[in-house]
Amino acid sequence: MRRREFIGLLGGAVTPWPPVLAQGPSKSSLVVGFLVAGSQASHGAWVAAYALRLSELGWIEGRNVTVEYRWAAGDNQRMLDFAAEFVQRKVDVIVSSANGVLAARQATSSIPIVFAALSDPVALGLAESLSRPGGNVTGLTVQPSDLASKRIDLLREIVPNLRRLSALANVASSGFEGETEGIRSAAAALNVEAHIFELRTAADIEPALVALKGQTDALYVLSEPLVNANRVQIIEAATTGRIPTIFGFREFVDAGGLMSYGPNFPDLFRRAADFTDKILRGAKPADLPVQQPVKFDLIFNLKTARVLGLKVPESFLTRADEVIE
């Protein structure tokens, strides 16, 4: 029911997505290498939004551009391998998000790189400043640490007696330090005990979920490709343990998570196509200011709330951009 709508630096519902194209594009076509940090299931809708916008800007697949997609499914080594492949193939632009951007930048300092979603490019050493990146990397930042306090406040509205907060965090994620610092700071201000479960690979998820049982009042998931690719496992464990959850991607809520709050990722990926368009037409990443999100969505799963036995204020539901029933 609608109410309103990343060793170096590295450490849902199925939606239509563009296919992986055959090797060897014609010399007349410019080539975009899209290193998708997630899977087709987790990132398909976002990539489709990018592809649609690129076509709206006059870039016709097979005529004046070829976009080659590589799906890393949250695997950092695959990101490195795909980035190296794109450099070897001398693509004209590399597009990616999260850890994929770090893999691409590790592979090349000359091919333009557009990030559709990245934590803090300045702190990561990828840009001199947001207004003038100065290198071969530019795009859209999501600044996750700024959102931690808001997400914890939302949890407290649904879990008024919140005293113990757990978080799942991929230590290899580009936004790990900033967001976990934000969680600890916001939790301390509210006299809430925060415990961070650090993940490095998918094999770390199950032990963390087992350790959560009976030990937390709510779960904050730092949403990035690794956990996104394993969201069903996380949500099933949280639901079984009757643990309220908050995420950064709405895809978690579509899969049964309680709620999400964060930037609208299809919009970010769509805007990444605008950066790609400018670069393909001759602009340099060094001169294209990094942009920030303009759309933020609060998505709430009322069905899950009922399963968890939560009482949800009507005022909360009316503020949600979408309520799933």
In the predicted structure, residue 22 carries a pLDDT above the cut 70: no
- The tokens 């987790």 sit on which residue? 42
Average pLDDT (283-310) is: 96
Q: How confident is the model at residue 11 (pLDDT cuts 50, 70, 90)?
A: very low
Average pLDDT (1-20) is: 40
Give, for 198, the enclosing helix (H) or strand (E).
Answer: strand 193-199
Give, for 321, the enclosing helix (H) or strand (E).
Answer: none
Q: Evaluate whether 30-142+265-294 and 145-263+297-324 have a shared fold.
A: yes
Identify each DSSP E strand in 238-288 by its residue range: 245-247, 259-263
- Amino acid occupying residue 292: Q
* Residue 172 confidence (pLDDT): 83
Q: Please state which of the ranges 17-21, 30-34, 107-111, 134-138 shows the lowest mean pLDDT.
A: 17-21
* Residue 104 confidence (pLDDT): 98
Q: Under CATH, which number does the domain 145-263+297-324 receive?
A: 3.40.50.2300
Sheet strand arrangement including 245-247: 193-199, 164-170, 218-221, 245-247, 259-263, 296-301, 322-324
In the predicted structure, residue 206 carries a pLDDT above the cut 80: yes
Q: Are 50 and 57 in contact (CB under 8 A)?
A: no
CA gap 286, 33 in Å, rounded:
19
CA gap 259, 322 in Å, rounded:
10
Q: Are 300 and 247 in contact (CB under 8 A)?
A: no
pTM of the model: 0.82
**Mean pLDDT for the chain overall:** 90
Average pLDDT (77-90) is: 97
At 118-158, the pLDDT tens digits run 988 998 999 999 999 999 999 999 876 578 999 999 999 99
Could you tell me the CATH superfamily of domain 30-142+265-294?
Answer: Response regulator (3.40.50.2300)
* Residue 28 confidence (pLDDT): 54
* Residue 17 confidence (pLDDT): 42
Q: Are 158 and 98 in contact (CB under 8 A)?
A: no
Phi-psi label, residue 8: left if phi above 0, alpha if psi -120 to 50, beta otherwise: left
Q: Which residues lie across from 261 on neighbouring strands?
A: 298
CA gap 118, 127 in Å, rounded:
12
Domain ranges, ordered by start, for the chain:
30-142+265-294, 145-263+297-324
Residue positions counted in the chain: 325
CA gap 116, 36 in Å, rounded:
10
* Residue 174 confidence (pLDDT): 74
Q: How confident is the model at residue 21 (pLDDT cuts 50, 70, 90)?
A: very low
